Structure 1
């Protein structure tokens, strides 16, 4: 592996400047190209972090798709898109992997701005089949001879949207639509539920392999074991599968099924995709792959198969190259177990992400009190409502960006029934390299309109523990905690005083400026106050701890100052600043308010510090603007 910043490319991969270069390669070169791609991906992602396990598993599958179909004339949609690195390399972008997921570089998902071969910039699961349904219907209406290929994982198939789409796709026999089920038995973690068991039945039918082996032995005795013999073997395999591994799960819907096929055998994949392309209607190709295929550290990682290391790692061992810091998720995981040991009614729900959300710690301690529902956030929330109705206190742990999907269930199934469900939103605010679809910037704006829902924003490890315990003590409605990704502050940000539930972090005598610091940006607000003090501007910094509904005590406090500023890492529109301004108006106080928050826009990928700087959410930028505001108001 290369030790330089530039990932090392083999001669075949380096010759691919566009998709046509790949398609012109000799068939005999393809196995070596697959090896080169794997070596290249490990070398590249080891430097930047990213989704390595999923991409190692789809090398041959992606190559076969691009050999059979003609992108972008034929449209390829990936679900969720994190397994598109091989696609990017084959479409001429291997030379840009130096800046993968870095500011100004390649995104970690398909991007229309990067290439005409990238169609859907999706990174939320279970959407590809709905996109594909619409795309194929549009081609049919236009009479266009174009195919749509949707690559969907078995994990994504646990999401309800997939089955809503399949129900509609099955009603049409004129759609040139090929659905490739990339079945590796996993999403982030092993795929769960009845679907997983059914797919396992197709993979492991006991009558199939012995019969196949007999035919293989017969074919191998033929004088020439070439493509003709291989074709005979493949035809025999297909017939056996029809007889011995009935495809009821898909064929009962009326969709033709080919498979299962070896997802790491280029010849077998190509043959299956050619047959699917020529069928003329919706077809499912069931490809069996191995997440992390070809790289020992990923295969040895039983928990997540090196799904998405967030930082650089050793390309040989897979171990992180930098010391691991204490993270927000880890603190929550510890407290979740501690609280579960103290109260028998606590249960946890996760949507296919026990490791990334910290729920795996409780799963190890009390496995019967954790429910992984698959990629099904809507079901997770309403299932939590049922648990709460029967005396449990569910903790629903999801990424902030994925909680958007379950708004209706939160409003009508949980809040309207005043049920004690605690939502824990990881990766709230600007998260960085994964880009705009993964930013957790909408949760405050969306969920603060829910009647009876209380939202907390811890600023450090100590307040995360305290506020989680406070949330669990609420028994007359739902609660929500939001915290960011990354490391918690090395030291807790202590309060100099606490008044009516408000933590005073900085207090200057005679101050006329109040800064209200929300959650993880409290440290930045405190630093801004220090800069202002150096310029002779006295400031009080307060952390309300619970940001929705706006505490009455905060409204009363804010009314005593000439200027109020709010600092948050959620959307400015409809965010905490908006809520406080409204509360001040309702109270009759005409206190001017400056709100520092995330602008309503699509923000690019980059590191969290880079993006916060772009958004003016740094101590220096906040202090500079507030100093100018204080001076301007002093002159008026």
Structure 2
């Protein structure tokens, strides 16, 4: 029997199916997503939770003429399957394959490239106004999760969107809120009635009659309006969205296709901004993800039958969490802050051990930095653990609310450098360039777990102001047997007085050691300068390069404003007369691929280092 999914080449094909068939289609989509993520890794629980909602949206709206904007975008797998990309879904998050996030370069059904949180309402409002200016009658829908509503940008968007006249719908995908049966049933019943066009017509007619009734009309209408608002407030206990100008309806069962389709169709006919509140279950349809949606939010490859991940061993995030927990045992001033990434940044054990000194501020990186500044001003030692990609959102706060006041704030920057399959929106390639221009700020870049422990201690206790410790995703790489971790600002390794000096930092030191080993076979002696404190640079580290014939700098970060440029500037200021070569990430965004593949493509792996040095040295 032919699968229902095989009959879907575009969203329009959904409308030839019955609601019962749509339910069967949802089951097939879930199996497709589970198989794909088990093989490639990715976001599982969030995608399984929005299957029915996505099907209902595409059944009701007509993309790309109507626009659907997915907040964060990691829950877009069903959307991609339904919009002509099913034959490529097996390539998602792989080199040359589909992105794990919406991407207009892939399809005109993706109106905006998104990978960070809380942007959908602002984006959708811009799209809606563009349609209005161009006299385009199409609708715009923003789908935002309750987690993304912890980000301030979402409220900036809501504050402006409440004034938009029509064709603008926000869907709140709520996968955490618990609603008791009786109150929830009443709320859904009233909301369903209020979205019926017939109800709205009767309401308008009654109010017109009352307004034209002498003496009593306006007061009675006002009284009814106030009574309605009081009843809603009693039932929902929240009038925030309506106070912002939205017509609020819900909550609805986000897995009830028939109801979702009916509500969406009715919402299209309301001539004001609409907010629909739907309740979904993360991980729905896969028992392991349903029981532990947090663990199955973003996953590596796993066994479908057991749910067990194929990833194993220690990683920098876990080591950081253990180190900070140990430090907190000895010092009750240490606090840990995270922006909705407790597990991802390795802080689960810290939270259990010190709940009073652990703060999850939600997806609000700007607030996290300023909040950390307040803790520091109050005498605490805050450590904000954040992915490099997400730290980008809080650079103003780092400058104004931390560094300007020389406050003792530590930034633990996870996923620094190339991150792999999450691609362009999540690469940690900009933090060094952004932070190194800020006064009163120190940056460390460890290569090994033991160095992470040393530099974290230095950042918290020895640096006078803001300090950042940046470390890569995953585990530590090759370490030569004859290399000793010192904790110094820099280390020198390799052949003394070698004509070639290779300078680098972070995990690229491992690549440099492998390259030097191979270059010895080519009769090219190499000395390696390993930078540990990469900003400010130790003047003695610059001095070491003066007698080298050729200095090569390899950097896992953007070239513009990076440490390499700054290093060579200082070197030439000291009168260096030799040759220099800088290899870093040039002016482009790095797409998804395995970390190893990306480093090869960027010519930052050991073989590329060997080839570049050999070619340049022999010129």
Give the structure 1 partner of residue 286 of structure 2: 295
Change (3 A) 1:366 1:10: farther
Match of 1:387 among 375, 396, 403: 375
Look up the match of 2:174: 183
Deviation digits for residues 8-67 of structure 1, max 9, x if unmatched? x97001221222222322233111111111122112211111111001100110111111
Residue deviations 1:290-327, cap 9 Å, x none? 1111211011116x151010x2111122112x351211
Q: Which deviations, in whole Å up to 9, do the C-alpha atoms of 1:486-522 show, x marking residues without a partner?
A: 222265776359697421232x143111111211111
* Alpha-carbon displacement from aligned partner over 1:52-83 (angstroms, at most 9, x marks no partner): 10011001101111111111000110001100
Q: Which residue of 2 aligns with 1:190?
A: none
Counterparts in 2 of 1:257 and 1:424: CA distance versus 1, 3 Å: same
- Is residue 104–residue 112 contact of structure 2 (8 Å, CA) maintained in 1? yes
Of 1, 5, 16, 1:24 maps to 16
In the alignment, the residues of structure 1 paired with residue 504 and residue 281 of structure 2 have an alpha-carbon distance, to the nearest angstrom, of 46
Q: Distance in 2 between matches of 1:288 and 1:165?
A: 22
SS at match of 1:123: coil
Structure 2 portions without partners, runs of 5+: 201-227
The DSSP-based 3-state class of the residue aligned with 2:42 is coil
Does the 8 Å contact 2:142/2:171 carry over to 1? yes
Instruction: Measure how far apart 1:241 and its partner are.
Output: 5.7
Offset from partner CA, 1:154-180 (integer Å, 9 cap, x none): 1111111111111111133x1421000
- Size of the aligned set, in residue pairs, is 588
Name which of 101, 107, 118 aligns with 2:110.
118
> Structure 2 matches for 1:228-627, cutoff 5 A?
244-301=235-292, 304=294, 306-309=296-299, 311-320=300-309, 322=310, 324-489=312-477, 495=483, 501-506=489-494, 508-627=495-614
SS of 2:142's partner is: strand
Partner of 1:143: 135
Partner in structure 1 of residue 209 of structure 2: none
SS at match of 2:171: strand
Question: What is aligned with 1:97?
Answer: 89
Query: Is 1:100–1:106's contact at 8 Å kept on the other side of the alignment?
Result: yes
Return closer, same or farther for 1:442/1:24 CA change in 2, 3 Å cut-off: same
Within 2, Cα distance between the matches of 1:283 and 1:493?
64
Matched, 1:83 2:72: no
> SS in structure 2 opposite 1:596?
strand
8 Å contact from structure 1 (residues 420, 474) kept in 2: no
- The structural deviation recorded for 1:212 is 7.4
1:153 aligns with 2:128: no
Match among 56, 59, 62 for residue 54 of structure 2 = 62
- Partners of 1:111 and 1:163 in 2: CA distance: 24
Quote the Cα distance in structure 2 between the aligned partners of 1:114 and 1:499.
Answer: 46
Structure 1 stretch 346-355 or stretch 510-519: which is displaced more?
510-519
Q: Secondary structure of the equivalent of 1:419?
A: coil
CA RMSD of aligned residues (A): 2.5
Which secondary structure state, in structure 1, belongs to the residue aligned with residue 156 of structure 2? helix
Q: Distance in 2 between matches of 1:369 and 1:268?
A: 44
- Which secondary structure state, in structure 1, belongs to the residue aligned with residue 281 of structure 2? coil
**Residue 106, structure 1, aligned to residue 98, structure 2:** yes
d(CA) in 1 for partners of 2:331, 2:485 = 31
What does 1:140-219 align with in structure 2 at a 5 Å threshold? 140-172=132-164, 174-185=165-176, 200=177, 204=179, 208-209=183-184
Please state whether the residue corresponding to 2:523 is helix, strand or coil. Answer: coil
Distance in 2, Cα, partners of 1:62 & 1:418: 48
1:224 equivalent in structure 2: none
1:40 aligns with 2:29: no
Instruction: Tell me the SS of whatever aligns to 1:454.
Output: strand
In the TM superposition, what is the alpha-carbon distance from 1:138 to its structure 2 partner? 1.4
Distance 2:29 2:128 in 1: 31
Closer, same or farther in 2 for the Cα pair 1:363/1:591, shift >3 Å? farther
After alignment, is 474-483 or 448-457 more displaced? 474-483
Using structure 2 for the length normalisation, give the TM-score. 0.90
TM-score by length of 1: 0.88
The alpha-carbon deviation at position 142 of structure 1 amounts to 2.0
User: For residues 535 and 184 of structure 2, what CA distance do their matches in structure 1 show?
Assistant: 59
Residue 128 of structure 1 corresponds to 120
